Amino acid sequence: MSLTVYNTLTRQKEIFQPIEPGRVFMYCCGPTVYDHSHIGHGKLYVGMDIVVRWLRFSGYNVRYVMNITDVGHILDTGEDRILKGARRERIEPMEVVERYMRSFLDDMDALKNTRPNIMPRAAAHVPEQIEAIQKLIEKGHAYEVNGSVYFDVYSYPEYGKLSRRKLDELEEGKRVEVRTEKRHAEDFALWKAAEPEHILQWASPWGQGYPGWHIECTAMSTKYLGETFDIHGGGLENIFPHNECELAQSEALTGKPFANYWLHAGSLTLDGVKMSKSLGNSITIKQALLNNSPEVLRHYILSSSYNGPMDYSPAGVESAQKGWERLVSPLASIRQQLRRTDLPQGEISAVVQTCIDTALSDFSAAMDDDFNTPIALSVLFEYTRQVNILLNGETLLNQAELTAILDLYQRLAGDVLGILPEEHGGTQTTSVELTDGLVQLLIEMRANARKNKDYASSDRIRNRLQELGVLLEDGKDGTIYKLSA
RNA sequence: GGCGACGUGGCCGAGCGGUCAGGCAGAGGCCUGCAAAGCCUUGUACAGCGGUUCAAAUCCGCUCGUCGCCUCCA
């Protein structure tokens, strides 16, 4: 079974073939760090994280690069986003960058996204960007006017191939006034001359200025991944203009294909409307995490395709929460059983082995089909059902079987999807051993009370523990407990 | 105006020509001292109208509706 991915460039699913066997070079457009990230960003980066995790699980050595845009991203008003943030908070531009880059990393860590291998910052790669711009001028793809440099889109005939736009059609739909100094309205800035009062500026062959938004991705992806690399990821709304411009200037620069596969994550909507900072309808990742565990949020995000849209709703999160609880429900039981010293020993039975093999194989097929996490989750639900049947069955599972079952959860739900709860959820103010010992003691006392039909005492223990967030569940082989966060 | 997605049972959400998606909610049952959890059973959905086909949620056309992008966005 081989991996197929939907490629925005060709608008179809293709068999994934890396340039270098066993290695994948991947770039993903990162955030402009001028404000806290919202859950729309969460959906995008969880989606990309799943791509990386699945590639690694499949045995690829992945170099994952994500840029941090800390300069050059201009608002409609012509104002730099970073400078706007700096003025808003009355701090230095680089303080804005540090503050929100850390906030972004905190959020990504909290969502259990694996860190990219390299997170290059645009402001730290100005020389590389200047060099790229110079080469584009030499090759006749760019021109300098009044200290600014623009990319001549008509010099690159394939401009528009990613977003499937035609230049003559673009001209009709333009909504921004034509900068008269540009040769064509569609030309975009590679370098902008800075006004003297502009705080962020660098010396260049064209005078003081700062780089345009798109050139950083070309300079940094080329530097860390090579002139042609495997996967370029990002949000759907970046296809045009950002990705299109990146693509055009990169290929014009090197004369080689830029990225072989373009993966785009669908937008997240709130009540049917796209969540975005400019619309002011955003829920930050930090806010979302106040009410939900990262595992639940990931499960919610992964219950729809990464490249499709997703509507965020409280009812949806709640539904995801319930589903997730059932999905991981056998874990508490298995982990507690594995602590027992009187566990049967022996080989893994054919029934258990088949259950595991089927789940792994179905799960892999789903993930290989363009990272189809909804199907992958449905495989895990079926696995959970089978495991519950085994756990409730007449024969006690032996240690090897319990270990194997747990191991598959760890690999698929844990390593690949990142939705496995920690051994004990919630805040850990005390050691796992102490909690476990105390709860086991109470379980024993309650079992005694039940044996003596002293249900008042047994219910009191159960109710008091529930108030403390410890749920007792009586099963065939004794009572297990679950900690609610 | 241009380009492009999409409309699936109460809700969410897969599906890419023929045979089970899955989750949540609901109903009935088993188990339980009672619960909880789990398990079993239960839902004949594909916006509308035409067409292609032995066969269409799936392909084609039209209509209606929703959304995204068209140089701020992830």
Domains of chain A: 18-291 (3.40.50.620), 323-416 (1.20.120), 432-483 (no CATH)
Distance in angstroms, CA of A375 to C1' of B15?
Answer: 10
Q: For residue A426, what pLDDT is reported?
A: 44
Find out whether the peptide bond into A18 is cis, omega within 30 degrees of 0: no
- Enter the DSSP assignment of A469: T
Confirm if A141 and A156 have CB atoms less than 8 A apart: yes
A159, closest nucleotide (Cα–C1'): B71
pLDDT band at A180 (very low <50, low <70, confident <90, very high): low
Euclidean distance between CA atoms A24 and A85, whole angstroms: 36
User: Which residues are CB-neighbours of A234 under 8 A, at least 6 positions away?
Assistant: A28, A29, A44, A242, A243, A263, A264, A265
CA-based nearest residue to A279, from A288, A289, A269, A294? A269
The residue ranking higher by pLDDT, A166 or A450, is A450
Two structure tokens written together for A277: 């900072």
Determine the protein residue whose CA lies at the shortest distance from the C1' of B12.
Answer: A316
Tell me what percent of the residues of chain A surpass a pLDDT of 90.
Answer: 66
Determine the protein residue whose CA lies at the shortest distance from the C1' of B70.
Answer: A173
Distance in angstroms, CA of A62 to C1' of B49?
Answer: 51
A34, closest nucleotide (Cα–C1'): B73
**E-only strand ranges, A255-413:** 259-265, 268-270, 273-274, 310-312
CA-based nearest residue to A277, from A84, A45, A70, A48? A84
- Greatest mean pLDDT range, A56-60, A179-183, A425-429, A439-443: A56-60
Q: For residue A423, what pLDDT is reported?
A: 67
Question: Mean of the pLDDT values across residues A440-463?
Answer: 92
* pLDDT reading at A271 higher than 90: no
Euclidean distance between CA atoms A13 and A437, whole angstroms: 53
Distance in angstroms, CA of A376 to C1' of B31?
Answer: 30
**Chain CA centroid to CA A109, Å:** 10
A73, closest nucleotide (Cα–C1'): B72
**E-only strand ranges, A158-296:** 188-193, 209-211, 229-235, 259-265, 268-270, 273-274
List the beta bridge partners of residue A74: A80
pLDDT band at A170 (very low <50, low <70, confident <90, very high): low
Two structure tokens written together for A152: 């001549």
Distance in angstroms, CA of A12 to C1' of B56?
Answer: 22
Distance in angstroms, CA of A308 to C1' of B50?
Answer: 30
Q: For residue A213, what pLDDT is reported?
A: 86
- pLDDT tens-digit series, residues A39-64: 999 999 999 999 999 999 999 999 99
Q: What is the DSSP string of A9-22?
A: TTTEEEE---SSTT
Range with the lowest mean pLDDT among A60-69, A79-88, A215-224? A79-88
Euclidean distance between CA atoms A317 and A80, whole angstroms: 35
Euclidean distance between CA atoms A343 and A212, whole angstroms: 64
Distance in angstroms, CA of A427 to C1' of B54?
Answer: 63
Please give, one letter per residue, the 3-state secondary structure of A295-310.
HHHHHHHHCCCCCCCE
pLDDT band at A74 (very low <50, low <70, confident <90, very high): low
Distance in angstroms, CA of A319 to C1' of B26?
Answer: 14
Euclidean distance between CA atoms A57 and A413, whole angstroms: 12
A303, closest nucleotide (Cα–C1'): B13
Tell me what percent of the residues of chain A surpass a pLDDT of 70.
Answer: 93
Distance in angstroms, CA of A7 to C1' of B4?
Answer: 15
* pLDDT reading at A428 higher than 70: no
Determine the protein residue whose CA lies at the shortest distance from the C1' of B22.
Answer: A378
Q: What burial letters (b/e) apply to A44-54, b meaning 16+ CB within 10 Å?
A: bbbbbbbbbbb
SS3 A241: helix
Amino acid of residue A40: G
Distance in angstroms, CA of A288 to C1' of B71?
Answer: 32
Q: What's the helix, strand, coil split of chain A in %, to 5?
A: 50, 15, 35
Confirm if A399 and A366 have CB atoms less than 8 A apart: no
CA-based nearest residue to A139, from A131, A147, A331? A131
Euclidean distance between CA atoms A161 and A158, whole angstroms: 6
- pLDDT tens-digit series, residues A330-349: 999 999 899 888 889 999 99
Between the CA of residue A164 and those of A28, A72, A419, what are the distances in Å? 21, 26, 37
Q: For residue A78, what pLDDT is reported?
A: 58
**Chain CA centroid to CA A146, Å:** 41
A475, closest nucleotide (Cα–C1'): B37
Euclidean distance between CA atoms A464 and A467, whole angstroms: 5
Between the CA of residue A224 and those of A120, A328, A387, what are the distances in Å? 9, 39, 45
Euclidean distance between CA atoms A300 and A323, whole angstroms: 9
| Nucleotides, chain B, CB distance < 7 Å | 1-5, 11-15, 21-25, 32-40, 66-74
User: Which residues are CB-neighbours of A98 under 8 A, at least 6 positions away?
Assistant: none
- What would you measure as the largest C-alpha separation in chain A, in angstroms? 92
A449, closest nucleotide (Cα–C1'): B33
Question: Mean of the pLDDT values across residues A291-297?
Answer: 94
User: Which residues are CB-neighbours of A265 under 8 A, at least 6 positions away?
Assistant: A43, A44, A47, A48, A233, A234, A235, A236, A306, A307
* pLDDT reading at A6 higher than 50: yes
Euclidean distance between CA atoms A62 and A65, whole angstroms: 9
A74, closest nucleotide (Cα–C1'): B72
Task: Tell me how many helices (H) and strands (E) chain A has.
Answer: 16, 15
Mean pLDDT, chain A, rounded, equals 89
